[in-house]
Structure 1
């Protein structure tokens, strides 16, 4: 199961930050747009070889991504517009960050495309379940929160323990994991949705 199952606990942990941004007059949509900006900057940073800055920006993306929905729920304004905007920007964020990592030389483009398609397909099937009337489904082995945490860990290890295994550093191997587990998660979600459709 993914880290998404711990959303209620995360909400309680983030409450001080939620209160702070709310007092500052920052809106959920502003946080969502902020996550888009920092994800684009993270991709550029990784592309230019700035693993430290890229990793920090991914951490900021994760923080903004967690705060926008939590703030919307806190304010009682969570709705379809914000949810739609959040999902669109999350997919662009995935594209920026993963493309930046492999285009920056952490892995060959073939591995990068494998990772990117795995991530996008697993995310697509999570929301497509809702489109066919089953209800949104985020089960499976690898969710977005998991990916962001793993990128932060791999980025830190790449800086602190700069070694390569079979020509790939930690970020490069992470893309292999993203591709493998991403497609596996997509298959898990497909099977779940297919079975649920059969029950209708």
Structure 2
């Protein structure tokens, strides 16, 4: 959902970094894996231990690696099928680790069971949003768009944990509750998009071929 202008501005920062790394022989897949391992390790180490602000900062640094590997692919002039699958898989792993760690905090030192339910909803719905798109594309259908995609989910969640770590009251509860509702809504949007895409394909298939 992040607009094109925002992506262009981000690319202005990441593209020079991507070109520099490619020029020094670093492969995009290596950056993808390092970013994922760092995100998982930081999330599962810091957040459940109630080190929310530090954890947010470290996780954010490693999450940004996902922008850099894309910049590296652009610098090379092409990506690879394996790289695309690896990137998508690592995104799911990283997202799962972040929201699992937040859930762990909620049910552990945070002692907020209802908030833990919201975090679990965010975890499951976020995975579903990505799965629906991948499954639809595999079937030749479209499921783009939605209220909150991966970037928005991570921004809202990490802003919530970071502010909570700084002592801002209600920051994390508001972030998780809003995100849970928005993520479920996005699942519905994706399913509706797939339905409409399927209807359009069926309609096109039913149209008689033009005569000579």
TM-score normalised to the size of structure 2? 0.82
- 125, 130, 154: which is aligned to 1:118? 125
For the 8 Å contact 2:118–2:180, the answer to whether it is kept is yes
Task: State whether structure 2 residue 181 is matched by structure 1 residue 180.
Answer: yes
Cα drift, residue 189 of structure 1: 1.1
Q: Match of 1:151?
A: 157
Q: Which secondary structure state, in structure 2, belongs to the residue aligned with residue 162 of structure 1?
A: coil
- 129, 142, 146: which is aligned to 1:140? 146
Task: State whether structure 2 residue 170 is matched by structure 1 residue 127.
Answer: no
Cα drift, residue 100 of structure 1: 0.4
TM-score normalised to the size of structure 1? 0.86
Residue deviations 1:117-176 (CA, integer Å, cap 9, x gap) = 1111111112222111024x4301101111222233223321334324xxxxx2333222
Give the gaps of 5 or more residues in structure 2: 202-212
Cα drift, residue 104 of structure 1: 1.2
Structure 1 or 2, whichever has the larger Rg, is 2
Task: State whether structure 2 residue 22 is matched by structure 1 residue 22.
Answer: yes
Give the CA RMSD over aligned residues: 2.0
Aligned length: 193
Q: Match of 1:167?
A: none
Question: Where do 4+ consecutive residues of structure 1 move more than 4 Å?
Answer: none
Residue deviations 1:27-60 (CA, integer Å, cap 9, x gap) = 1101110121122123211111111221112212
CA–CA distance in structure 2, aligned partners of residues 4 and 126 of structure 1: 19
For the 8 Å contact 1:118–1:178, the answer to whether it is kept is no
